[in-house]
Structure 1
Amino acid sequence: MNKNMRFLIFFGIILGIHFLVNFYIYKRGVQGLGAMPQLLPYLRGIMLFLTLAYPAGRFLEKIWYSPISSFIHWSGAFWFAGMLYFVLIIFTLDLFRWSNMLFHFMPDKLSSNYTHIKLITTYVASALVVVTVLLGHINAWTPKIVKKTIHIHKAGGERKTLKIVAASDIHLGTIIGPRKTAKLVNTINSLKPDIILFAGDVVDEDVKPVIEQNLGKNLLHLKAPLGVYASTGNHEYIGGAEEAVQYLESHGINILRDETVFLDSCFYLVGREDKEKTSFTSVPRKTVRELLSPLDKQKPIILLDHQPFHLELAQEAGVDLQISGHTHHGQLWPLGYITQKIFEVSRGYKQKGNTHFYVSTGYGTWGPPVRIGNRPEILAFTLEFE
């Protein structure tokens, strides 16, 4: 089975699940509005628009980027978060209803007025979802600064310390537009870094919205004496890695694609290609051991690797600090519990032997511009050398 066929099957499964989930919400909405049938035509129209909005918006902006395509994209993106919390609430109510059918614990007086109770429950559930998504949107636009001092058991030449400011998963595009990009650049510059690092997913798939909004103009204002470097992420490959890399490099970001640079006669910076490179190009990326084998292991080694799989390989190869992202820590509660099962580190810091790891929750968002249960972040690390 070729790559295109696998993608079509995967996309078909995802789209099928999407429509089934929306049909479940719609059917429960119809039941909930049983006491006010005059609202049903509005429910049908709204549900049809929201169900189609995200795939339609993403498709439309590829051929006609405009305020209309952006509005449709934003609507569908918000609905992803709303869809999740509607399903959680409705399924909880269904469990309650099914339990009552078995054990009959609801008073008969309530059962006799069931239609009106369902209407009130529908209003309350809708209000809860709207408030949750709104608060999550505010949270997604309020990044925190993670400050940490890390001691590296190696000499750094004449340099005793190195101040790194880093971010991952910016997802520049329709959702992460000019305002949030400017906020990122201003915050990074205010921290006065020696070097700026981006651990993949700088671009959110299609680079066209980035070009249309001229987001690279903000990136050109990033300031660090040792430069700005990044590795690729899976979203660069989803949208077309060559075009995304070319755009970023033309706007002051050096992309390390299975490459190493020796900076300030002090430390090595290594950038790995994303794990998805093989899926999209059929060309395997280099292993950590292959990348590090020519290096002087007495010098500090910093690795950018977007997806934090197999941390033990970086430890065994002699990496001193690895910065990753990708997980978003689920982005929406309770999905963080899933990423905790998938990754050894879903977010935050961990040390294995002499190797320090940090997995960032990311600066931007994918899909819904909403974060529940975690904050976006910018990293400000001070490395102390012996």
Structure 2
Amino acid sequence: MTRSNAFNPDSILSGLLDWVAIESPSYNREAVNRMVDTVEGELSALGGAIERVDQGQGYGDVLLARFPGQMEGPGILILGHVDTVHPEGTLDGPLPIRRAGDRVYGPGIFDMKGGLYLAVHALRQVLRDGGRPKLPVTVMVIPDEEVGTPSSRPLIEAEARRHRHVLVPEPSREGKLVTGRHAFLRFLLRCHGRPAHAGADNRAGRSAISQMARVIQQVDSWSDFARGVTYSVGVIQGGTFANVMPIECSAQLLCVAPTEADMEEVRARVLGLAEQGEDRHIEVEEGPVRPLFKPHAGTLNLYETARAIAAEQGLTLEHGQFGGGSDGNFTGALEIPTLDGLGVCGGGPHTHEEHLLVSSLEPRCRVIAGLLERLE
């Protein structure tokens, strides 16, 4: 009797869409925990020893599920997140779940519910019929990755140090695996103005918003796309009434740096914006940093194993260092062998065109399963 295909893409997609239907924006603790509950239920059903950690910082819970291996000792950490950048209501608005040929759209389907679901499905196949991976496996689910992992980083680093390998099913980069990631630096900028009645005495005041607009133009001019050094303001807040000169404006700045020298340049430039004088009052506060993850021998050995597994399926897997922050930045920077970008292929992350390619589900899931079966 022929056994059914345990990696059938339509079956994988069906389970994944149940996850995508649960909206889980990072800043909504209750929504993220609904997603954590769902993943916990699936991992518990597989026999995982469950641990949940409330970080107490307003974000959702961190979930850990531990599975024994054939061998004892340090094992494999599967590291992924369930929070998304899409606010609640996106499913009923600009990004409903829909299929168009090989593409399936939905909030978080590419970044990164698709990849995390693949990892859980792969583990399920390895465990079926009483099987075990060679090494113990821990699945760690993070609730705040999209905002820089401000609460979960210490737990990630501590957990990773107890493991031999880290697998991160973040989205694929054009079909390639990720063996290194650029650094990410976040800053909060604040401009302070002088109050005045905007409809009667403009010249007596100083607009914090106008001041911030000039700062943003300056910061934007620093981006060097050829080098991969970029600066981007994503959130601005300021002002109270249209007829009141705004006395405070804040902006969140995200910077990307491919090298250590670039990191120092970015930090020096942004911190150099701080100023206090009669016409300009600017404060700069450093935020969460994703450290530089450079390829190293342990990670490249992991890649070679994945490449060989893929080749058995007729799939060619390349690799490289890329932007796009990940919790793999933390583990890779610790020089723990970390293979990132193991998730689905697709595109449009963080946009209303976010989608995965159904054709990528089976081969990518088989690669993850192969790693769980062979790593030792």
TM-score interval, smaller chain: under 0.3
Structure (1/2) with the larger strand percentage = 2
Relative contact order, higher structure (CA 8 A, sep 6+): 2
Structure (1/2) with the larger helix percentage = 1
Greater C-alpha Rg: 1
TM-score computed with the length of structure 1 as normaliser: 0.24
